[in-house]
């Protein structure tokens, strides 16, 4: 038993050292991309800067209403933000697992809009977002429970 505990402690310290070394060397991780992209895009609405910095040119889109490519996303999103200056997205949760990160958010056209709950799932490769899936659900006027969507 003592040997198993000692081995676990050694393994944990090696994993921790490896992760710390990776961060110290400036290695780009999925979390690095999430931490860079989320504030620019979701919180500040800086579409072009977020996409040109963090999204690959050949970005694959799985939303059936959107076309592939970083430039196509910018071409759609920039005019949307210009036409909807009160639009905002509030991020509630971010999950990171391997080469994927998921963002649980609320999108609203303005402060009086109940909006929609959404989860964006993004895949990262070579320090760029290369793929996107999303699911969206309107926030209803009433709910069968008191838990809320967020």
pLDDT tens-place string over residues 1-54: 444 444 444 434 444 444 444 455 679 999 999 999 999 999 999 999 999 999
Domain 28-138 class?
Answer: alpha beta
CA dist., res. 13 & res. 69, Å (int): 41
The per-residue pLDDT for 26 is 76
**What's residue 22's pLDDT?**
45
Asked if 6 and 13 count as a contact pair (C-beta separation under 8 A), the reply is no
The position carrying tokens 């994993």 is 15
The predicted pLDDT at position 25 comes to 64
Give me the mean pLDDT over the 82-111 stretch: 96
Which H or E element spans position 61? strand 55-61
> pLDDT tens across 45-83, in order?
999 999 999 999 999 999 999 999 999 999 999 999 999
Domain ranges for the chain: 28-138
């Amino acid at each position: 038993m003592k040997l198993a505990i000692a081995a676990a402690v050694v393994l944990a310290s090696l994993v921790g050292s490896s992760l710390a070394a990776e961060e110290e060397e400036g290695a780009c991780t999925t979390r690095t991309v999430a931490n860079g992209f989320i504030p620019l895009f979701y919180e500040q609405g800086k579409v072009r800067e977020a996409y040109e910095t963090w999204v690959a040119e050949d970005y694959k889109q799985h939303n059936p209403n959107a076309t592939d490519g970083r430039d196509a996303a910018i071409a759609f999103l920039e005019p949307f933000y210009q036409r909807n200056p009160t639009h905002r997205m509030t991020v509630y949760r971010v999950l990171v697992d391997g080469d994927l990160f998921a963002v649980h958010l609320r999108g609203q056209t303005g402060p009086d809009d109940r909006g929609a709950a959404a989860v964006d799932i993004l895949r990262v490769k070579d320090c760029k977002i290369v793929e996107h899936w999303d699911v969206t659900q309107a926030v209803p006027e009433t709910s069968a429970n008191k838990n809320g969507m967020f």
